[in-house]
Amino acid sequence: MMRTNVQPRLKVVLADDQPVVRLGIRSILSREGGFDVVGDASSWEELMFLSDTRGPHLVITELRLQKKDVVDAIKELRRRRPEIRVLAFTSLFDESVFLRAIDAGVNGYLLKRAHAAELAETIRNVAQGGTVIDPVIAGRILEIVRQRQPAECLANEAPQLSPRDSALLGLLAEGRSNREIALELHLAEQTVKNYVSHVLHRLGISKRVLVMPYLEQPAPVPVAIRGLDSFTFGPRAGRAGSAPLT
| Intervals of CATH 3.40.50.2300 along the chain | 10-139
Closest to 183 measured CA to CA, from 198, 171, 201, 173? 171
Task: Give CA separation, 132 vs 3, 51, 138, 159, in Å.
Answer: 35, 22, 10, 28
- C-alpha distance across the termini of the chain, in Å: 48
| Intervals of CATH 1.10.10.10 along the chain | 150-222
What is the predicted pLDDT for the residue at 133? 86
- 10-139 classified as CATH 3.40.50.2300: yes
The DSSP output letter for 151 is G
Across-strand partners of 35? Answer: 10
What is the predicted pLDDT for the residue at 83? 92
Q: Architecture of 150-222 per CATH? A: Orthogonal Bundle (1.10)
Residue count (the chain): 246
Residues near 22 by beta carbon (within 8 Å), at least 6 away in sequence: 14, 16, 40
Q: For the chain (length 246 residues), average pLDDT per consecutive 10?
A: 65 96 94 92 94 95 91 92 94 82 90 89 89 82 64 53 83 83 86 85 74 60 40 43 43
Q: How many CB atoms lie within 10 A of CB 150?
A: 8
Alpha-carbon span 222 to 211, nearest angstrom: 10
Residues near 52 by beta carbon (within 8 Å), at least 6 away in sequence: 80, 81
With H, G, I as helix, E, B as strand and everything else as coil, classify residue 133: strand
Alpha helices by DSSP H, the chain: 19-32, 44-53, 71-80, 95-104, 116-127, 135-148, 163-173, 178-185, 189-203, 211-216
What is the predicted pLDDT for the residue at 221? 38
What is the predicted pLDDT for the residue at 238? 36
What is the predicted pLDDT for the residue at 144? 67
Alpha-carbon span 234 to 230, nearest angstrom: 13
Instruction: Give the CA diameter of the chain.
Output: 70
With H, G, I as helix, E, B as strand and everything else as coil, classify residue 197: helix
Q: How many CB atoms lie within 10 A of CB 62?
A: 23
Spacing of C-alpha 160 from chain mean position: 30
What is the predicted pLDDT for the residue at 227? 42
